[in-house]
Amino acid sequence: MALQELREVQPEPLVPPIARAAGRAIVITSGKGGVGKTTTTANVGAALAARGKDVVLVDADVGLRNLDIVLGLENRVRYHLLDVLEKKVELETALIRDKRNERLHLLAAAQSREKEDVDTDAMRALIDRLRAQFEFVLIDCPAGIEMGFKNAIAGAQHAIVVCTPEVAAVRDADRVVGLLPADWRPELIINRLRPALVNKGKMLSVEDVDAILRLPLLGVIADEPAVIVSTNRGEPLALDPSSKTGAAYRAIAARLAGEDVPLPVPRPEPRLLAKLGALFSRSAGGRA
Amino acid sequence: MVMFDFFKSLFRKEGSSATAKERLRLVLLSDHLSLAPHVVEALKSDLLAVLSRYVEIDAALADVTFEQREHEVAMLASVPILRLRDEAALALPDASLPEMDSPASPEAVPAGAVETTAEPVAKPAPSEPERSGANGSSSRRRRRRKAAKKGQVLALAAASSGPPAQGLPLASHP
């Protein structure tokens, strides 16, 4: 009885914080290092922004700042994540606007600090704040399963697991999925697939990885030299309309945005003879 | 022979991805069971020790495998039974059990997480009838199942390799 009275007296909060935080915070994680978390974050973020979504990318890899490089924004970093968490600067001051798309933003990692310096509660509060402002908050998680990982997943509600078709990467992906909150349903991106090797039985296939991890497949990215070239230049491949891999990133963005697009699976490049044949038939057709 | 292997490797459809798959399967298995490889070995030898108290087994041909299923990992043991022991030689179940402080027992399943579910007993691996020979005519399998944490199932299938020559008849087991 007394409890009921108490409830009636309790005033409603004026602005419920959850209702305001409408955006989705998605952590991009893998366990293993070097499988392409940062490249994935940059490309999916750029593709989402190109679709007209307001996006912020948070580099949670404190001490190893990389996301700015992949995006070509390394010269614009003045303040970083820890400056914001420790209230040294305003969030708006630390956010870096992308030079190609004003909807895309970056919150860079601190380079000369350590992952243990991040306060988990402050991180959670920051992600909540970003969700109120952006439709997509993509958090680039550091490798490993220690404090950096725990801080990176703190404010997220969803995870994308990046995995290459290798024994060690699949094992680590499996471990990381076990460490995520039980009610999450992480989605899988298989990165660096080499279709020709899969055909020869020399690489785990999409089906192999799928059968083991049993996660909803969000996308498959081929191991293509163009990814390295785009990273060299600091221009996300997702923005290259002629690139097949760019299209695969754009398909991932479309699916994240709720669009039901088919999942493009990379196929092996045609062999030299087939290429010559195609060239011949094309030029023959041109003459006719 | 070397030549033959060479050509076989040339034309074989399965490359190293099959090896990768198998290694991955095994490594995830022990990850999921949270059992270190040496603990799995200890479990295996304890298992055979318990069995051999009741039946004479061929430990050299004993095969303990793990299988990833939809939602659980199953352990299948195929143990050739040579003959049954006399009733007089049978020890009471609690008389000479292996020491409970053996490495397998405490880490294997946290005591708080053990629960018994009413799921049907796991079917034996399809390869077992062939392995037991003689169309499995008189082979009978005893299955024991321990439900472990998160629905991981330990199923034991022991198959005899031929008709029991003497000693106790095998009781037909549900």
Does position A227 have pLDDT exceeding 60, yes or no? Answer: yes
Alpha carbon of B13: minimum distance to chain A alpha carbons (Å): 6
Contact A107, A96 (CB under 8 A): yes
What stretches of B53-134 show up as alpha helix (H) in DSSP?
Answer: 104-108, 128-132
Nearest Cβ partner for B16 among A170, A175, A202: A202
Average pLDDT over residues A103-129: 96
Write the CB contacts of A267 (distance below 8 Å, at least 6 apart in sequence). A195
Chain B interface includes A193 (CB < 8 A): no
User: Tens of pLDDT along A46-94?
Assistant: 999 999 999 999 999 999 999 999 999 999 999 999 999 999 999 999 9
> Which of A:201-220 have CB within 8 Å of B?
201-205, 208, 212
Question: Residue A232 carries which side chain, given as an amino acid letter?
Answer: N
On whether residue B171 sits in a domain, the answer given is: no
Average pLDDT over residues B120-131: 38
Q: Which residues of B68-85 are buried (b: 16+ CB within 10 A; e: fewer)?
A: beeebbbbbbbbbbebbe
Alpha carbon of B135: minimum distance to chain A alpha carbons (Å): 33
Alpha carbon of B19: minimum distance to chain A alpha carbons (Å): 9
- Asked whether the beta carbons of residue B20 and residue A167 sit closer than 8 angstroms, the reply is yes
- Asked whether the beta carbons of residue A201 and residue B14 sit closer than 8 angstroms, the reply is yes
A66's torsion region: left (phi>0), alpha (psi -120 to 50) or beta? Answer: alpha
User: Out of A7-21, A73-87, A193-207, B24-38, which region has the weakest mean confidence (pLDDT)?
Assistant: A7-21
Q: Which DSSP string corresponds to A115-142?
A: GGGS-HHHHHHHHHHHHHH-SEEEEEPP
- Asked whether the beta carbons of residue A204 and residue B20 sit closer than 8 angstroms, the reply is yes
On whether residue B141 sits in a domain, the answer given is: yes
Does position B11 have pLDDT exceeding 70, yes or no? Answer: no
Q: Which DSSP string corresponds to A186-227?
A: -EEEEEEE-HHHHHTT-S--HHHHHHHH---EEEEEE--HHH
Structural domains in chain A, CATH included, are 19-287 (3.40.50.300)
In this structure, the number of other CB atoms found within 10 A of the CB of residue B19 comes to 12
On whether residue B5 sits in a domain, the answer given is: no
On whether residue B112 sits in a domain, the answer given is: yes
More confident residue, B46 or B124: B46
User: Out of A139-153, A252-266, B117-131, which region has the weakest mean confidence (pLDDT)?
Assistant: B117-131
Q: Quick check: ipTM above 0.85? A: no
Does position B103 have pLDDT exceeding 50, yes or no? Answer: no
Does position A279 have pLDDT exceeding 70, yes or no? Answer: no
Contact A156, A183 (CB under 8 A): no
Question: Residue A69 carries which side chain, given as an amino acid letter?
Answer: I
On whether residue B121 sits in a domain, the answer given is: yes
Chain A residues within 8 A of B31 when measuring between CB atoms: 171, 174-175
Mean pLDDT value across chain B: 59
- Assign B134 a pLDDT band (cuts: 50, 70, 90): very low
- Assign B77 a pLDDT band (cuts: 50, 70, 90): confident
pLDDT at B10: 52
Q: What angle do CA A259, A265, A266 make, to 5 degrees?
A: 135
- Assign B70 a pLDDT band (cuts: 50, 70, 90): low
- Asked whether the beta carbons of residue A167 and residue B25 sit closer than 8 angstroms, the reply is no
Chain B interface includes A128 (CB < 8 A): no
- Asked whether the beta carbons of residue A175 and residue B14 sit closer than 8 angstroms, the reply is no
Overall domain count for chain B: 1
Does position B125 have pLDDT exceeding 80, yes or no? Answer: no
On whether residue B79 sits in a domain, the answer given is: yes
- Asked whether the beta carbons of residue A202 and residue B24 sit closer than 8 angstroms, the reply is no
H helix or E strand, kind and range, residue B109: none
Chain A interface includes B71 (CB < 8 A): no
On whether residue B51 sits in a domain, the answer given is: yes
Which of B17, B29, B32 best tests the A interface by mutation, with the highest count of A CBs <10 A?
Answer: B17
Does position B44 have pLDDT exceeding 90, yes or no? Answer: no
User: Tens of pLDDT along A111-121?
Assistant: 999 999 999 99
User: Tens of pLDDT along A2-58?
Assistant: 555 544 454 544 444 444 568 999 999 999 999 999 999 999 999 999 999 999 999
Nearest Cβ partner for A200 among B15, B25, B27: B15
Does position B67 have pLDDT exceeding 60, yes or no? Answer: yes
Q: Is beta strand A158-163 parallel, antiparallel or unpaired with respect to A104-107?
A: unpaired
Nearest Cβ partner for A171 among B21, B28, B68: B28
pLDDT at A48: 98
Backbone phi and psi for residue B118, each to the nearest 5 degrees, phi listed first: -100, 25
Please state at what angle helix A167-179 crosses helix A206-213, rounded to 10 degrees: 30
A57 burial (CB, 10 Å; 0-12 / 13-18 / 19+) is buried
Please state at what angle helix B16-33 crosses helix B37-52, rounded to 10 degrees: 70
Chain A interface includes B28 (CB < 8 A): yes
- Asked whether the beta carbons of residue B25 and residue A212 sit closer than 8 angstroms, the reply is yes
Alpha-carbon distance B121 to A10, whole Å?
Answer: 54
Q: Which residue of A has its CA nearest to B68?
A: A212
- Please state, for a pLDDT cut of 90, what percent of chain A lies above it: 82
On whether residue B36 sits in a domain, the answer given is: yes
Mean pLDDT value across chain A: 90
Average pLDDT over residues B58-79: 78
- Assign B133 a pLDDT band (cuts: 50, 70, 90): very low
> Which of A:95-114 have CB within 8 Å of B?
none
More confident residue, B5 or A171: A171
Chain B interface includes A175 (CB < 8 A): yes
- Assign A282 a pLDDT band (cuts: 50, 70, 90): low
pLDDT at A41: 98
pLDDT at B63: 81
Which of B12, B14, B28 best tests the A interface by mutation, with the highest count of A CBs <10 A?
Answer: B28
Chain A residues within 8 A of B14 when measuring between CB atoms: 201
Does position B42 have pLDDT exceeding 80, yes or no? Answer: yes
More confident residue, B28 or A103: A103
The domain of B47 spans: 16-85+100-156
pLDDT at A97: 97
More confident residue, A185 or B37: A185
Q: Pick from A270-274, B95-99, B138-142 the range whose average pLDDT is largest.
A: A270-274
User: Out of A276-280, B19-23, B48-52, which region has the weakest mean confidence (pLDDT)?
Assistant: A276-280
